[in-house]
């Protein structure tokens, strides 16, 4: 959107400059100089001068409103056709998708470079962005645990024992990781084409900008979907989109660990499903991992992407393939690496085949026909 071009998050924070405030804007010195010049040349009468000044002031007010947070919200809803409450619900996730690009010293792969082999492979895989972030901040806080069940309405949350030295307050344990990470984003237009190839009819929102509306479709699709539960067959599109992102993330972690020489539990995923983005980061819990993903990005990127493309088979095929294309040998990660309980996974989303909930998926996302 042009309203946010060349803007950063700090422009909209509590310390935003006065231009983002609700104060009525005045005319700049350049505006006044231009008006005075026209009047001095006899092009404006005194009455016309006053009218021009008022018109210019109204124009500046409109420009300020368009670039203010409330103006951007109104424009976003109008252009995408997605109601503001849905955007508000997805706000934290959208912020997490943008923040590393501003604060994490990112290095982005130029996907438009035809001489770069890894860029060509990434485009073949339907990726729209690949970024190395040197400082990816992850904070994990835990205040209790449950057993057997994890769903909010069916589990019993057991807080950690109260600490007598702190007035009987319940402790919250916090773990902070700030390490290198790789961010990969799917191409939203290819994802929509993939859904259509598999018989889906994505309900693209009706907005004034169809390109933005197609991208915003995923914000709306996943807004009310319980991603930490098995997504049922009656939410076919949501299961396919999230399952695709989640499975690709797991396969990427597994292959990255092999090439980095790390234990698989040393890497974790962080999914931003509404942004069609996932991050792989070093969690520092199981040995030294400093620089592992940086080396992968700089030295073995093409090899890693090719390895992910070749994960079509499982050692338990054809049994695994005929049941769900999903098991501990091909798609699962350790509990410390996956925040979604190894649910909604299937190689069928990438290569075609059978999914446990949806049955047969005829076209996988990596199918050459989608390029």
Q: How far from each other are the two terminal CA atoms of the chain, in whole angstroms? A: 27
Residue 314 domain-assigned (yes or no): yes
Q: Phi and psi at residue 121, in whole multiples of 5°?
A: -65, -40
Kindly state whether residues 37 and 115 are assigned to the same domain. no
Answer yes or no: is 74 within a domain.
Answer: no
Residues 52 and 105 in one domain: no
Point out which residues pair with 137 in neighbouring strands. 178
Contact 330, 347 (CB under 8 A): yes
**Same domain as 124, residue 33:** no
Considering the domain architecture, whether residues 94 and 56 belong to the same structural domain is answered as no
Contacts of 75 (CB under 8 A, 6+ apart): 1, 3, 66
Tokens for 239, please give them.
């299961």
Same domain (yes/no): 108, 182 = yes
pLDDT of 176 reads: 85
93 and 214 both lie in a single domain? yes
Adjacent-strand bridge partners of 173: 142
Q: pLDDT at position 20, please?
A: 47
296 and 289 Cβ atoms separated by less than 8 Å:
no
Whether residues 284 and 248 fall in one domain: yes
Reading the block at residue 280, the tokens are 């792989």
Residues 33 and 137 in one domain: no
**Tally of domains within the chain:** 2
Q: How far apart are CA 53 and CA 210, in angstroms?
A: 37
Residues 97 and 37 in one domain: no
pLDDT value at position 64? 65
167 domain residue, yes or no: no
Q: Which domain holds residue 46?
A: 27-67
Asked whether residue 302 is assigned to any structural domain, the reply reads yes
Q: How far is CA 145 from the centre of its chain?
A: 28
> Is 1 domain-assigned?
no
Please indicate, yes or no, whether residues 225 and 269 belong to a single structural domain of this protein. yes
Q: DSSP state, 118? A: H
CA distance 319 to 171: 46
> pLDDT value at position 19?
45
297 with 182: CB under 8 angstroms? yes
DSSP for 262-274, please give it: --GGGEEEEEEGG
Model pLDDT, residue 13: 56
Per-residue pLDDT of the chain (371 residues; tens, 9 = 90+): 665 666 666 665 555 554 444 444 567 778 788 888 888 888 888 888 888 888 887 777 766 655 666 777 788 899 999 999 999 899 899 989 988 888 878 999 999 998 999 999 999 999 999 999 988 888 889 989 888 777 777 888 899 999 888 888 999 999 888 888 999 999 999 999 999 999 999 999 999 999 999 999 999 999 989 999 999 999 999 999 999 999 999 999 999 999 988 888 889 999 999 999 999 998 876 655 678 999 999 999 999 999 999 999 999 999 999 999 999 999 999 988 999 999 999 999 999 999 999 999 999 999 999 98
Identify whether 60 is part of a domain.
Answer: yes
Q: Examine the domain organization and report whether 41 and 102 are in the same domain.
A: no
Residue 79 and residue 347: Cα distance in Å, rounded? Answer: 35
Does residue 34 share a domain with residue 180? no
Token reading at 345:
């996974």
Residue 219 domain flag: yes
Q: Is residue 77 part of a domain?
A: no
Q: Residue 33: left if φ>0, alpha if ψ -120 to 50, beta else—which one? A: alpha
Which residues in 146-156 are b (16+ Cβ under 10 Å) and which e?
eeeeeeeeeee
Q: Which two tokens stand for residue 292?
A: 């592992």
Q: What is the pLDDT of residue 253?
A: 97
């Amino acid at each position: 959107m042009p309203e946010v071009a060349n803007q950063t998050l700090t422009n909209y924070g509590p310390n935003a400059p006065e231009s983002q405030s609700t104060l009525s804007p005045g005319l700049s010195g350049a505006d006044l100089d231009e008006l005075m010049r026209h009047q001095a040349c006899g092009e404006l009468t005194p009455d016309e001068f006053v009218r021009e000044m008022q018109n210019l002031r109204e124009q500046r007010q409109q420009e300020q409103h368009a670039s203010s947070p409330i103006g951007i919200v109104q424009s976003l809803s109008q252009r995408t056709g997605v109601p503001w409450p849905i955007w508000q619900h997805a706000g934290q996730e959208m912020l997490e998708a943008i923040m590393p690009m501003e604060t994490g010293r990112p290095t982005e792969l130029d996907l438009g470079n035809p001489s770069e082999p890894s860029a060509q492979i990434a485009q073949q895989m339907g990726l729209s962005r690949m970024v190395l972030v040197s400082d990816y901040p992850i904070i994990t806080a835990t205040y209790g645990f449950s057993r057997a069940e994890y769903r909010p309405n069916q589990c019993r949350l057991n807080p950690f024992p109260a600490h007598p030295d702190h007035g009987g307050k319940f402790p919250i344990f916090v773990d902070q990781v700030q390490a290198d990470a790789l961010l990969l984003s799917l191409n939203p237009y290819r994802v929509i084409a993939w859904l259509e190839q598999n018989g889906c009819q994505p309900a693209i929102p009706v907005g004034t900008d169809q390109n933005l509306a197609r991208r915003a479709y995923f914000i709306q699709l996943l807004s009310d979907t319980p991603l930490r539960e098995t997504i049922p067959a009656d939410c076919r599109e949501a299961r396919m989109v999230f399952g695709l992102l989640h499975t690709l993330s797991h396969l990427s972690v597994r292959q990255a660990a092999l090439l980095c020489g790390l234990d698989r539990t040393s890497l974790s995923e962080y999914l931003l499903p509404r942004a069609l983005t996932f991050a792989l980061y070093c969690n520092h819990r199981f040995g030294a991992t400093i620089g592992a993903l940086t080396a992968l990005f700089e030295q073995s990127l093409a090899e890693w992407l090719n390895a992910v493309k070749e994960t079509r088979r499982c050692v338990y095929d054809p049994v695994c393939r005929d049941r769900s294309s999903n098991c501990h040998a091909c798609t699962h990660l350790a509990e410390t690496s996956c925040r979604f309980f190894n649910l909604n996974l299937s190689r069928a989303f990438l290569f075609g085949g059978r999914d446990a909930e949806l049955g047969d998926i005829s076209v996988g996302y990596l199918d050459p026909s989608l390029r």
